[in-house]
Chain A
Amino acid sequence: MTQQGEDVVRAEQLTKVYRAGEVEVAAVTSLDLTIARGEFMAIAGPSGSGKTTLLNLISGLDQPTSGSAYLAGVAIEDMNGRQLADFRRDHVGFIFQSYNLIPVLTVRENVEYVMILQRVPAAERRRRVAEVLSDVGLAGMEARRPPQLSGGQQQRVAVARAMVSEPDIILADEPTANLDSTTGAELIDMMRDLNRTRGMTFIFSTHDEMIMSRAERLVLLKDGRLDKDIRRDDSTE
C-alpha cells in the first residue's frame, strides 16, 4: 500500500491498439503518466482521445498492447484474469457514467458486494455500509433497490460502493453525465470532501467543465497522447 504523496499509478509508454476488422486504431499511444496518492484529478479530452481506455488500462479492466501500467506498485500486464479480478476488488473503486448498480440487489447489497468478495465479516460489513451510506447522505435507504432511487441517489450509491472497501484509487468515468448540474455539483463536492477527509485518490474521465474546474490536476489527452498536464497548485504544465 502506498503512502500519501507516493505514486499510486504509473504508466510507462502505455499503448493500446484496437482492431476493427482490417483497421487498427491506436486509442492510447506511448503515454507516460504518474498519479500520486490522494490526488483529485481529471482526465479530459475530446471524444476518441483515449480517456476511458486510459482508465481501463490503469485499473486492470483492459491489458495494454505495449508499455506498462503499475497500480500500487504492481505491474498490471503480468496478471491473469483471476489475479486481475482480485486486484481490482482490493485496489480499485469504479463509478460509471450510468450508475451501473445491480438493479436486483438492494442499496445495502450493492454496497457490500465487494466486501463479500473480500470475505469481510458480516458485522464489519454492516458497520462500514452504515458509515459510508451516511457519508454519502443515503442513511435509511439501505433496503431500497436502485430503480426506487433518483439518478443522483443512484450515483451516490455507486460512490459508496466504490469507496466502501477503501481502495487505492477510485476511477469515475463521466460520473455526472446523466445528472442535472445541481445534482452533479453536489456529487462532485461530496467526492472532493471524501478526498480531503479520507485521502482517497479520485481520477475522473470527463467532458464536464464543472469537474475540470474542481480538479486539482487536469490531464488533457489528444489522439491518445498526453497533450497537457495542468496542476492547479502551481499552475505548471
Chain B
Amino acid sequence: MSHLRILMALVVRNLIRNKRRTLLASLAVGVGLAALIFTDGFMLSMEETMIGAATATFLGDGQIHAAGFRDTLDAEMYMTEADALLARLDADPDVAASAPRTQAFAMVSSTAHASAALLFGIDPTREPGLSKVDEAIVDGAYLGVEPRRILVGRIMAEDLQVEIGDRVVVTLSEVGTDELAQAMFRVGGIFEIGVREMDRSVAFVPIDRARELLAIDAGAHEIAIGLDASVSSPERVWGAYATDRLEVLGWPDLMPQLAAALGMTDVSLFFVAMVLLGIVVLGIVNTLFMSLHERMFEFGVLRAVGTRPTRMAVMVLMEAGVLSLVSMVVGGMLAVIVCALVNRNGIDYGGIEYAGVTFQEPLRAILEFRQFVIYPLWVLACCLIAGLYPAVYAARMSPSTAMKVYT
C-alpha cells in the first residue's frame, strides 16, 4: 500500500466513521450546489423567455434599416431597395422569415377622441411568419385583403372608445412633401400584446395602403428578420446585408434595455454564486476543523511516528476533496429533483412586464450539461481552497501540542 493509498484509506474511513456529520456536511454543500444549478437554470429560462418574447412578438432577431433611421425615426429615411432585399433574404438559408414594414408617427382619430400613434404598415402575409401580431388579436380579426382595415391596441381602443367596425381617421405627414395625408379606416381587430406601450400607441395597417399614404412607392422603413434556429453567429448574417446605406441591428441593439436587464441577471447570478459558494466554503472549513479537533490526538500520533507536515496537509486536502465529491453527487441529484418538481408546472410570471417584455408563459429551469460540470468544479475548487486553512493548521501542528503531552 503506497503512502497516498493509506492516506486515502484514512480519509475515506474517517468520513465513514462519522456518517452523520459527513452526510450533513455533504447535504449543506450539496444544497448550495443544487441552488446554484437551479438558479442558473431558472435565469437561463428567464433569459430565453425574455429574448424569445421580445424577438418573436414583434421585434425579430434583427432588423435592416436605412442608416441612421433608428436614431431619428424620420420617415424620410426609407429603403428604396426593399423588394431586392426581401428576395435576397428569401434565398438565404440562415433566414427563416422576413417582413417589410413602414413606420410613421400619425394621429388616429375617432368620433370621440384622438390618439398619437406609431403607425406600422405591415405585410399581412409575411408578418405572421415573423411576429405574433396575428396571435395577439383579442377582438375582431387580423388583416386580410381589405386595404381599409386597421388594427389598434386594446388601450388605444379604450382611449378612442372604438369597437370592431368603427371608423377612425389616420392623419400623417407625406414623405417628401410634408403635406398632410388623411385616410379613413375601419377597426378590423383589437390586439393585446401585453407591452403597455405597444397596446397604447401602436396601430397596424396593410403596408400597401401605408405606402400610398406616405408616398414611398415600394419603399420600407424596416425589414424584420427571423433567423433559422441553427444560426449560432447572428453577426455573420448581419454583416452580409450591412452597407454604407443600410444598417443591420440585432435585438441587443434594438432593445438595449433588455440587453442591460439580461446583463443584470448575469450579475445577479454571480452574486448568488458568491453567496452560495461562500456558504460552501464556511461549511467545509467548519466540518474540517470539527473533524480535525475531534481527531487531534490521532493527528499528533501520525506526526509523532514520522508523517511529514506536507503529508498531513495533503491528507486534510484529500478529505476536503472527497467530501466535495460526495457533495457533488448529492447536489447534482438534488438539482435534478428540484428542477423536475418545479418544471412540472413552472413558476407563473404571466402578465408581468419587465424591461419592455411581458412574460407570457410559466418559467421553467433549463438544465444543461455544462451546469453539472462547471458548478461542481467550482464547488471542488472552493472546497480545496477552504481546506487550505485547516490543512496548513494540521501541517504546522506540533505533535506534542496535539497530544497534550506537557507534564
Contact = CB atoms under 8 A, between A and B. Distances in A.
Chain A interface: which size bin? 35 or more
B171 interface: no
A86 B407 CA distance: 25
Interface in B254-311: 297-298, 301-310
B232 interface: no
A94 B405 contact: no
Interface residues of B, number: 30
B400 interface: yes
A88 interface: yes
Nearest to B297: A100
Interface in A95-123: 96, 100-105, 109, 112-114, 116-119, 122
Given A27-B406, A61-B400, A102 B306 contact: no
A94 B309 contact: no
Contact of A56 (B303, B310, B396, B400): B400
A48 interface: yes
A56 B399 CA distance: 9
B309 A102 contact: no
A113 B3 CA distance: 8
Interface string B1-41: 11100100110011011000000000000000000000000
Interface string B194-238: 000000000000000000000000000000000000000000000
B342 interface: no
A18 B6 CA distance: 35
A173 interface: yes
Contacts of A118: 306
A116 B1 CA distance: 7
A94 B297 CA distance: 14
Contacts of A81: 308-309, 396
B406 A61 contact: no
A50 interface: yes
Contacts of A27: 406-407
A85 interface: yes
A90 interface: yes
Contacts of B406: 18, 27, 52-53
Nearest to A224: B407
Interface string B388-407: 00000000101110010111
Interface string B43-75: 000000000000000000000000000000000
A85 B407 contact: no
B306 A104 contact: no
B407 A102 contact: no
Nearest to B303: A85
Contacts of B17: 103-104
A161 interface: yes
A117 B309 contact: no
Given A62-B400, A82-B309, A49 B407 contact: yes
B305 A88 contact: yes
What 5 A-B pairs are tightest by C-beta distance, nearest first? Answer: A89-B306, A104-B13, A52-B407, A62-B400, A61-B400
Interface of A: 18, 27, 47-53, 56, 59, 61-62, 81-82, 85-90, 94, 96, 100-105, 109, 112-114, 116-119, 122, 161, 173
Interface of B: 1-3, 6, 9-10, 13-14, 16-17, 297-298, 301-310, 396, 398-400, 403, 405-407
